Amino acid sequence: MLGKDVFKLKPLINKDNIPFMRSWLTQSDSHHYTLIVVLFFTLHLALANQPQTLSIESLTWLLGALAVGLTYTFGFTGLVLALSANTFTQHITSYPIGLTGLLATSIYLTTLSLSILLPYYKHENEKLSDRILGDSTETIQFIVLAFIASTLSVGLYTLTIKIGADIHSDLLATYMRQTVSSAMMITCLCPALTIWKYKRKWPSLPSDPKEYAAWSVCLIVISLLSLSFTREWLALCALLLIWAVVRFSWFGVCLALGITTLFIAPMQTNSTYEAQSVSSWITHNIELIAWYALSAIVLYLASLLADQRKTEKNLEQRVIERTQALDEANQELRQEIRTRFATEDELKKSNKRYRALIETAGIPVIVINDNYLIEHWNSACEAVSGYRYEAVLGKDFLRLCIPSEQHESLIWRLNKAAASSTNQENVETKLFTAQQSKRSMLWNINFISDENLEEHGQFLLIGQDISNIKETQNQLHYLAHFDTLTGAANRRLFEDRCKQGIETAKRYNTQLALISIDIDHFKKINDTLGHDIGDALLIELVERLTQGMRKEDTIARLGGDEFAILLSNISGQDGAELVGRNLIEHITKPIEVKNNELIITSSLGITLFPDDGDSYEKLLKNADMAMYKAKNAGRNNIQFYNEEMNKEMQRQCEIEQALRTAINTNQFELYYQPIIDINNGEIVALEALTRWNHPSKGILLPDDFLSIADQTGLLQIIGKWAFNQLCIEAKSIEKACGKQLSYAFNLTRKQYNHPSLLNMLKGACIEHSFNPNRLILELSENTLAQSSSDTIKQLKTLKSFGCVITIDGFGANSSSLTQLDSLPIDMIKLDRQTVASCLHNKKNKLVIESLLAIAKQLGIKSFASGVENLSQESFLQRNHCQYVQGFMYSEALPAEHLIALLLNNAREKELHSGDQIALPLGITEL
């Protein structure tokens, strides 16, 4: 418990700022050390209570040795413990030294501990060095420090004791005696206290514990037989110490020396207490001096033996390590030898496999040296090149097999492979064959260096015949960039060429032109002569266009019969027009295609860079607008783009958007214009006309939106609505007037040719219970211009459904008469313009008279539109025209206004010109 309590004491001064404040003992060693300290201190108290056996100075020197050990181990805490022990001893023992003696003893303990340990203080680590008594040199240093520290501390002790006392003549002898005694106590007792923590570092001689017990018994027996400090006893103790030095460990020797000294201490009680002269003191204390010298020698010899043992053990450990390392090296060498033999065997097998692999590989493998001479040539190379191995061995690979223009690039790749860390490169070359043809090859180059000659080596070329792949790539490239039918550039390549041309023109400040070409009536050629003739025509056309161009220009097929040409570095509009007229001249020449002579025309639209646009998209759009302007201007002509075309296009886009809104918001209405029986003035039919009730522009006629609706496909939606609305309103009209009427409904070419026309008519008639026999379908002459089998079939289908077929605007074209006999029609509707001028234009008068006469003979009903006065009505009636229509009778009216007209007609049975309100509205077919 005492030992634990000692270690629970806290330092009185902050150990982080003051030296010697750190305990070096581990928890496992602290209990043992505490036990030794307690034993020493108990012995100290026992001796202090026997003043007759021990002098006060000897007790002080014993406490000084204990103080040094405590200070070294516990820092200032240990020193405080020693001072406390000194004070405690003075109070419980019979030594009445007073306050002066207590002060002198405290000064001695403090000075001794600090002066002897100060050289071992390490300021950078704030702790004491562990080299105290570390070896024989440190042991000598400790002995010297113990004597010097004793000299200093004993001097201060003596001066303090003598304060206020008389100075005697034996003061020097007393000082010397006390110094030697103090130095002896420190030299003999401190090692056992200071090296306790390092005992495991020192190798111990194997020794039986019984031997330690025998040594202790001998020491006790000698002490009992000789209770005085004599030379004989000194000699016997010397023998015991020599026994300890030889047989015990370093710590064992220190412990033995300390124990022996403790036995000697009581023997000095009266031997040196009285004052003596220096010479007499030396004579009477020769045994003390001899013991001090013997103790120092024994301590030094023990340290030498400890050093030797440590050196021997280190040497032995080094020998063991070296032997172990040698064994490991030998084992590695044996393993390496076995590995080398195995590697050589494996290398031989690998070489055999390698040669077999090269020979049987399905890909060409070539080995050439650094002079490009062939050293190996496998069977696959023979198959690809046609050269036999014997014919190429030793020949220059480059000159024999590689085109000269590829020598430089291949040599560069070979050198790069030799210098590369991976020693690999890939290169694509042509390969000459024995048949003087070329194959495309992809080579994987591997450089195999010579281990003996680093600058030399071989090149392993592993080839792959990629001729088929290259051919496929070329085909794919062609398909991706050229039109497969005509060989002209496709849209993708043309766009790329245009963008490059624009950048070049910007860089050199030049002009270029983009021409959009559309073949007139090409669809008719396909429909009548077949697609084979159409394809042959396109091929011949591209050849002719190429003849009319420069080499630096580009022709492209953008779609069916749409072509585009890029003219680079053109001299403005005049140069572009010259090229355009040259192209038209080549196009219009007769073309012989599969025994068919064709004469075709085309419409050209031209736009210029940078005048009309600075991008491919804008130039192409502008060229298309100019081309459509050329088609609308009569075809087979050239039109240059201008800003008005763009405005017109914007206007059409606005109308298209407005039309879509009108469809979604029901802005369309149906107007009806009566058809009159010329003989009795009775309304027999109504022509349904579509009107657009525009929210801001009012009522719009079909002339304002019909063409745009037809181009954008919206006409199909509007036409379907109009026919359904006709079926609905027809019921209301007939219910109001109490009679059934026929209804004329106009169809454009696209509506007529639409595949769903018949289904649309049938669906509406069935849904609204409308009788198709009362439906009059008006078709223009242009719609029926080609009396093809499909046209006739469609007309017969509509007639079988019950519809009445009428040719609208009849007499405007020269082909009118030929259509009467060939087409299954029921009625002709004379052209309005021809009717309006019949009375003052003899030609038109004769035409109408002839047409009406022929229609009568063929049994076809006749119908005249645009009748404006009674004279015209009389003329038509005289020539047997059956039905008339015009402003003379009524304008086109909405359903609610029409009902009043019908009721009036039912009452009067006849309409006169004064009965209607004439409005300047024309009739436009829908």
End-to-end CA distance of the chain: 125
Nearest to 515 by CA among 640, 353, 365, 670: 640
Q: Which amino acid is it at 338?
A: R
Largest CA distance in the chain: 190
Q: Does residue 604 sit within a domain?
A: yes
Confidence bin at 177 (pLDDT 50/70/90): confident
Half-sphere exposure of 774 (CA within 13 A, CB side): 19
User: Is the model's pTM score more than 0.75?
Assistant: no
Q: pLDDT by residue (tens digit) across 368-391?
A: 888 889 888 888 888 888 888 888
Nearest to 805 by CA among 825, 830, 789: 825
Evaluated on CA atoms 281, 285, 286, 290, the torsion sign reads negative
Q: What are the backbone angles phi and psi of residue 108, rounded to the nearest 5°?
A: -60, -50
Q: Does residue 725 sit within a domain?
A: yes
The residues that bridge with 894 in the sheet, in sequence order, are 671
Nearest to 192 by CA among 294, 82, 78, 73: 73
Rounded mean pLDDT, 246-252: 74
Tokens standing for residue 511: 């002009």
Q: DSSP string covering 407-443, please?
A: HHHHHHHHHHHHHSSS-EEEEEEEEE-TTS-EEEEEE
Q: Does residue 524 sit within a domain?
A: no
For residue 592, give every residue at least 6 positions away whose Cβ sits within 8 Å of its Cβ, in sequence order, or none.
Answer: 598
Tokens standing for residue 911: 């309409």
Confidence bin at 604 (pLDDT 50/70/90): very high
**Residue 598 sits in the same domain as residue 664:** no
Rounded mean pLDDT, 539-546: 88
Q: pLDDT by residue (tens digit) across 873-913?
A: 999 999 999 999 998 899 999 988 888 888 876 666 544 44
**Residue 428 sits in the same domain as residue 557:** no
Q: Does residue 522 sit within a domain?
A: no
Tokens standing for residue 22: 């750190």
CB of 171 within 8 A of CB of 157?
no
Q: How many domains does the chain have?
A: 4
Least confident of 22-26, 554-558, 762-766: 22-26
The CATH number of the domain holding residue 735 is 3.20.20.450
Residue 919 scores a pLDDT above 50: no
The residues that bridge with 879 in the sheet, in sequence order, are none
**Residue 374 sits in the same domain as residue 451:** yes
Mean pLDDT of the chain: 78
Q: Does residue 81 sit within a domain?
A: yes
Radius of gyration of the chain measured on its C-alpha atoms: 66
Rounded mean pLDDT, 319-331: 90
Least confident of 357-366, 501-510, 631-640: 357-366
Rounded mean pLDDT, 94-121: 72
Neighbours of 50 (CB within 10 A): 14
Reduced 3-state DSSP string for 865-902: ECCCCHHHHHHHHHCCCCEEECCCCCCCEEHHHHHHHH
CB of 669 within 8 A of CB of 894?
yes
pLDDT of residue 436: 81
d(CA 227, CA 267): 7
d(CA 579, CA 585): 10
Nearest to 62 by CA among 329, 361, 268: 268
Q: What are the backbone angles phi and psi of residue 369, rounded to the nearest 5°?
A: -90, -175
For residue 53, give every residue at least 6 positions away whose Cβ sits within 8 Å of its Cβ, in sequence order, or none.
Answer: 47, 266, 269
Q: pLDDT by residue (tens digit) across 422-474?
A: 767 888 888 888 888 888 888 888 888 766 555 568 888 888 888 888 888 88
**Residue 635 sits in the same domain as residue 768:** no
Confidence bin at 187 (pLDDT 50/70/90): confident
Nearest to 263 by CA among 220, 296, 298: 220
pLDDT of residue 803: 93
Tokens standing for residue 405: 């223009």
**Residue 381 sits in the same domain as residue 450:** yes
**Residue 409 sits in the same domain as residue 272:** no
Peptide bond connecting 191 to the previous residue in cis, omega within 30 degrees of 0? no
**Residue 492 sits in the same domain as residue 461:** no
27 against 903, higher pLDDT: 903
pLDDT of residue 759: 92
Pairing of strands 457-465, 827-830: unpaired
**Residue 743 sits in the same domain as residue 844:** yes
**Residue 785 sits in the same domain as residue 867:** yes
Provide the residue range defining the domain that includes 414.
Answer: 361-472
Helix (H, G, I), strand (E, B) or coil at 804: strand
Confidence bin at 515 (pLDDT 50/70/90): very high
The CATH number of the domain holding residue 564 is 3.30.70.270
CB of 157 within 8 A of CB of 121?
no
The CATH number of the domain holding residue 440 is 3.30.450.20
Residue 918 scores a pLDDT above 70: no
Q: pLDDT by residue (tens digit) across 747-788?
A: 988 888 888 889 999 999 999 999 999 999 998 877 776 656
For residue 908, give every residue at least 6 positions away whose Cβ sits within 8 Å of its Cβ, in sequence order, or none.
Answer: 915
pLDDT of residue 93: 60
**Residue 634 sits in the same domain as residue 673:** no
Q: Does residue 564 sit within a domain?
A: yes
**Residue 711 sits in the same domain as residue 633:** no
Least confident of 31-45, 491-505, 800-814: 31-45
Rounded mean pLDDT, 122-148: 71
Question: Which of 291, 312, 333 is where one domain is finished?
Answer: 312
Tokens standing for residue 243: 């026994």
Q: Does residue 176 sit within a domain?
A: yes
Q: Does residue 726 sit within a domain?
A: yes
For residue 67, give every residue at least 6 positions away whose Cβ sits within 8 Å of its Cβ, in sequence order, or none.
Answer: 78, 79, 82, 83, 109, 112, 113
**Residue 41 sits in the same domain as residue 121:** yes
d(CA 146, CA 90): 25
Q: What percent of the chain has pLDDT over 70?
A: 80
Q: pLDDT by residue (tens digit) across 653-708?
A: 888 888 898 889 999 999 999 999 999 988 999 999 999 999 988 898 988 888 88
Confidence bin at 916 (pLDDT 50/70/90): very low
Integer angstrom CA distances of residue 284 from 231, 260, 297, 663: 12, 21, 22, 144
